[in-house]
Amino acid sequence: MAGPSHVPVLLDRVVALLAPALDRPGSVLVDATLGLGGHSEAVLSRIDATRVIGIDRDPQALALASERLAPYGDRFTAVHAVYDEIEDVLDDLGLSAVDGVLFDLGVSSMQLDVRERGFAYAEDAPLDMRMDGTTGITAAEVLNTYEASDLTRILREYGEEKFARKIAGAVVRERAKEPFTRSGRLVELLYAEIPAPARRTGGHPAKRTFQALRMEVNDELAVLRRAMPASIDAINVGGRVVVESYHSLEDRLVKQAFVAASRSDVPVDLPFVPEGHEPALRLVTRGSEKASPAEISENPRAASVRLRVIERVRDKGAAA
C-alpha cells in the first residue's frame, strides 16, 4: 500500500463551504485540528480577509505547521490545546466568537510517518500512540493494565473487531509473562489470534486493534462529544462548523450534535413554529457528503470521510 498521503482531504470542498462564513473583513477561523496546516494554508491563501487560529494537541504538528504558515505573519496563531478547550482558547485570545470552526479528525500523515510514535502497525515501534506525547497514558499502559472486559469493549466498539474477546484474553495471558512494550509483539499476537480466513478478507489484522487503542489513548470520542456543542456555541451568526469524520462512531456523534442544535425548541405536536422559536442553526449539508471516486483513487484516506456542516442563522439569545 502507498504511504500516507499529505494531501488534505476534500480540500476545495472544505474551503468552498467555509468561504461564505469567512468572506468578510476581520473574520476568524479556528482550525481545531491543525495537523500539517494544509487546510489552514488553503484558507489563508484563498481568503484574504481571514485570520486562522490553529489548535493541535500535538506539539510536533504545531511546530511544523507554524513554520509552514510563518509567511502569513499575524494572520496565523498556533495554540497548543485539546479542541474541547475551544472556549478557553478564545477567551485567552480575547475573542468572544468566531466565524468558522474546522475539524479534520483523526491522526495526521506526519504522526503515522514518525515510527517512534507507534501509530503505524507496519513497523516495530514503542506502543505509545499519544497525540500529545507529553501527557496521558500510552497504548502499552492500556494493554498492560486494563481488565480483559474493558479491552474487549474497546476493541469491539472502537475497532469493530469481531475477535475482541479472543484478542483481549490473549493479551491478558501474554502480559502475565512479560508486559507489552513494542508493537511488533502485539502484531504477532494478532496474527496468531485472528483466524486465517478472517485475515484474508478483513484487511490487515492489526488495523482495527491499533485504531481502537489510539481512540482510547487519546479519549477521542469523549473529547469530540464535548467539542461539538462548544464549537457550535462559539460561532457568530453566519458562522459555520465543518467536520470531516473518518469513523462511524465519530460521524454519528457529529450528526446527533448537529441535529439537536438545528431543531426548534417548540413541542413536536405544535403545527407551526411561533416567531422567536425558529432554530438558531441550520444544516448546510443534507446527510453527510463523501469524497468522489477520483479523489479516493488519489488519496486512500478520503475513502472513509464523512463531511457535515452546520451554520448559525440566528443569535444565541434570539430563540425565546
Ligand X SMILES: C[S@@+](CC[C@H](N)C(=O)[O-])C[C@H]1O[C@@H](n2cnc3c(N)ncnc32)[C@H](O)[C@@H]1O
Q: Which residues bind ligand X (CB under 6 A)?
A: 8, 33, 35-39, 55-58, 61, 82-83, 104, 106, 108, 131, 223
Give min distance, CB of 18 to ligand X, in A.
12
Closer to ligand X by CB, 89 or 190: give it.
Answer: 89
Q: Please state the closest distance from residue 75 (CB atom) to ligand X, in A.
A: 17
Q: For residues 37 and 239, which CB has a smaller minimum distance to ligand X in the complex?
A: 37
Q: Which is nearer to ligand X, 54 or 205 (CB)?
A: 54
Instruction: Give me Rg for the CA atoms of the chain.
Output: 21
Beta strand ranges found along 235-294 (DSSP E): 235-245, 281-283
* CA 315 to the chain's CA centroid: 27
The nearest distance, CB 36 to ligand X, in angstroms, is 4
In the complex, what is the shortest distance from the CB of residue 299 to ligand X, in angstroms, rounded to a whole number? 12
Which has the closest alpha carbon to 305: 288, 283, 280, 287?
288
The residue among 17 and 36 lying less far from ligand X, judged by its C-beta, is: 36
Task: Specify the residue, 194 or 217, whose C-beta has the smaller distance to ligand X.
Answer: 217
Asked if 108 contacts 61 with a C-beta cutoff of 8 angstroms, the reply is yes
Cell of 140: 502499552
Sequence-ordered strand ranges (E) for 211-305: 235-245, 281-283
Q: Please, what's the largest Cα pairwise distance for the chain?
A: 68
CB of 198 vs ligand X, minimal distance in Å: 29
Burial of 129 (0-12, 13-18, 19+ CB in 10 A): buried
- The residue number whose beta carbon is nearest to ligand X equals 35
